[in-house]
Amino acid sequence: MGKFLPIKNGLTANQLKIIAIIAMTLDHFAWLFVSVISPIGQAMHIIGRLTSPIICFLLVEGYHHTKSFSNYLLRLGAFTIISAFAYTFFISGKLFPIENLSMIFTLLLGLISLKIYDSKLNSILKAIILIGLIFLSTYGDWSIFGLLFILAFHIGHYNKKLQIFNFAVVGFSWGLSAVISAIINNEIWYFNLFQFAVLLSIPFLMLYNGKKGTKNHFGKWFFYIYYPLHLIIIKLIKLM
């Protein structure tokens, strides 16, 4: 973790994860209970934009420091399947059919993309596989940009300024694409400006001190368990 200068009161990986979980919960709650065009809805979604950059950033950190890539891959694969049903239930109120996959699927593809990027395959084959993974990511939440966040953080991993610059370019593109999409679909474009709030994650990422934080076995699994569970609970509350 040499790319990070010591920050006396900086944020650990676990603290960043807690921030992301709180932001994600507010965001998902807002999608079901608060109008996106209301001030409260916009505020909740702005906070919610912190989630994807932080989680993608932590995935890259996990990739660089995991003791077993295969176990990391299997863990994401297993929870991709579990979360698929929870995400479908959150979206439609049903467990089937599964039409779109959750962001865990995007993270799984992101982890694979990092392995491919670092492999000794020739550049053309790498590009073909990465493009294929980016295409597959369209079936998951956060879609193409989630995968691009992961690659952006990875490419600049040992250069903090480059890492943040790469992310800022992709993050700005995320917001711009949301506005353009709204215009194309004859929607009110300025209600999509909250997507630019992914850039608000930069100060939090800059405060990362390179430390994992409190070590405990449950903490390692908490996010994987919390993600599908909170989707189910929020939807059940909505259906009551």
| pTM of the predicted model as reported, rounded to 2 decimal places | 0.94
Tell me how crowded residue 45 is: count the other CB atoms within 10 A of its CB. Answer: 21
CA distance 175 to 169: 10
Contact status, residue 43 vs residue 35, Cβ threshold 8 Å: no
Long-range own/partner contacts, residues 86-93 (CB < 8 A, 24 or more apart): 86/227, 86/228, 86/229, 86/231, 86/232, 87/141, 87/228, 87/231, 89/231, 89/232, 89/235, 90/28, 90/32, 90/231, 90/232, 90/234, 90/235, 93/235, 93/239
pLDDT tens sequence across 214-235: 776 666 788 999 999 999 999 9
* 3-class secondary structure, 146: helix
Helix, strand, or coil (residue 34): coil
- Residue pLDDT, tens place only, 155-188: 989 898 999 999 999 999 999 999 999 999 999 9
Axis crossing angle, helix 69-92 with helix 217-239, rounded to the nearest 10: 10
Token pair listed for 129: 């596989």
Q: What is the pLDDT of residues 28-85, one digit of tens each?
A: 999 999 999 999 999 999 999 999 999 999 999 999 999 999 999 999 999 999 999 9
Tell me the sheet residues that pair with 235.
none
Structure tokens at 28: 């998902």
